[in-house]
Structures are given as structure tokens and as C-alpha cells.
Structure 1
Amino acid sequence: MKEVVAIIRPNKINATKVALERIGYPGMTAAAVLGRGKQRGIAGECGFCVAPELIAQGKTSGMKYIPKRLIIVVVQSKDVDAVVKTLVGVNRTNQIGDGRIFICPVENAVRVRTGEEGEQAIL
């Protein structure tokens, strides 16, 4: 089993949810998060505009943090490539700030209600 952690744009959360459900992964954990990458913040990520002439002059200093969405999905190891391909397909805009995907090993999972373990707990 693998844990797929994706950091995406807030406006892509619904499309991502639909796309994951389409490939058989309707369950996920999602949270609103703040962060920034090596671009040090992008003013265009938020609901306000920066004048193009200021951008051209380099007079924007970025933002401390940018609102993003964190999605976590635990998947069978054989499905990792399909899930990552789906996440990239939905979230790629070819612009700075499209996000990141991390894949981590999962040693075990336990469904609290039934006590099922391993892949049975995530199916």
C-alpha cells in the first residue's frame, strides 16, 4: 500500500475528487493548507490582481503563504501510477504553483469499525 499526498490549487479540488472517484478511489482526506514553494508566493493564486506594470518592474515581493489543498489517498501499490497520472492530468495548468505529489509507503491500515487490516481496510 502507498499513501499519495498531493498539494493542489484550491480551485481544482472538485475536479480532483470527481476524477479519483472515476478511477475507483472515492475516499480521500482533504484539508485547506497554507504554504509556498521555491517561487516564494504567487500573488495571482489569490482573488486579487497585481497590475501587469508592477510585475514587469519586479515590484511584487510575493506572499508569505499561498492557500492550497492537501489531499491524501491510500491506494493499493498497483494503482499508484494510475492515481498519480489522474492527479497530474487534472491539476496541471503548466503554470508555477500547480503543486506537488508525494508517494509514501504504508505499513498497515486498520478499519476501526470492522478491524479489517491491510488492503482490505482501504477497499
Structure 2
Amino acid sequence: MKLVTAIISSQKLDEAREALLEIGATGLTISRIFGDAFERHGSRTDDCLFKLEILAAERLADTIVESIIGILGTEAADDARILVFEPEQAVRIRTLEIGEEAVG
């Protein structure tokens, strides 16, 4: 399993969410960013930053990264990053599934 994180502007948020759901990335969390990164980008409420976190099966990670890059393109801020992590463990509390079974 992989955890893919990306910082995107509010202008690309809906497009990114729809594209990720279309490719089967259902473990999606979206958080609004405040603090240093938010201030560097600009504090206008019509163009704020969001952090996407996608917990996905390993086989989907590269597709997720490619999709985000395709959406952001060269319009991404100079300091835009996509990070991919390997979580040590995942547990779906409702079913007690563990590991890859808990993802997706």
C-alpha cells in the first residue's frame, strides 16, 4: 500500500478529485492548508491550497501520481511536490481488515 500526498490550488481541486475517483482512488482525504505554505502562495480565499492524501493499493500509486501531474501540469507552483510514502500498517476499523485488504 502507498500513501500519496500532493499540494494543489483550489482551482484544481474539483478536477483532481474527479480524476482520482475515476481511476479508483477512493481513499481520498482533502485538507485546507494554513500556515507558511499558505502564506507564501497567497492568502486570497479564492485561491487557497489543499493537501490531498490518497491511501491506495501499491498497483495504483504510479497512476495516481501521473494523474495529479497531468492535472497540475506546468501551472503548479514552483514548490509543488507529490510525495509517496509506504505506511507501516493500515486497519479498517469497521471490518478489522489489515494491510492491503484495508485499502480500497
1:69-121 CA distance string (max 9 Å, x none): 001001112221111000111122x2351621111111111001010011111
Q: Which residue pairs with 2:59 in the alignment?
A: 78
CA distance in 2, matches of 1:104, 1:16: 19
Q: Which residue of 1 aligns with 2:97?
A: 116
Please report the TM-score for the alignment, with normalisation by the length of structure 1.
0.71
Q: What displacement does 1:27 show?
A: 3.0
Larger Rg: 1
Q: Give the Cα–Cα distance (whole angstroms) in 1 for the partners of residues 84 and 37 of structure 2.
A: 19
1:97 to 74, 77, 88: 77
Contiguous gaps of at least 5 residues in structure 1? 49-65
- Corresponding position of 1:10: 10
- The one-letter amino acid of 2:83's match is F
Q: TM-score, normalised by structure 2?
A: 0.83
Greater helix share, structure number: 2
Q: Comparing 1-10 with 94-103, which one deviates more in the overlay?
A: 94-103
Query: Residue type matched to 2:50 in 1?
Result: R
How many residue pairs get aligned? The number is 102
Query: Do the aligned residues in 1 keep the contact of 2:8 with 2:76 (CA within 8 Å)?
Result: no
Q: Which runs of 4+ in 1 moved over 6 A?
A: none
2:75 alignment partner AA: Q
Give the match for residue 31 of structure 1: 31
Q: Which amino acid aligns with 1:14?
A: D
**Which ranges of structure 2 fall in alignment gaps of 5 or more residues?**
none
Residues 8 and 100 of structure 1 are in contact (CA less than 8 Å); yes or no, is this contact kept in structure 2?
Answer: no
Evaluate the alpha carbon distance shift between residue 111 and residue 42 of structure 1 in structure 2; reply closer, same or farther with a 3 A threshold. closer
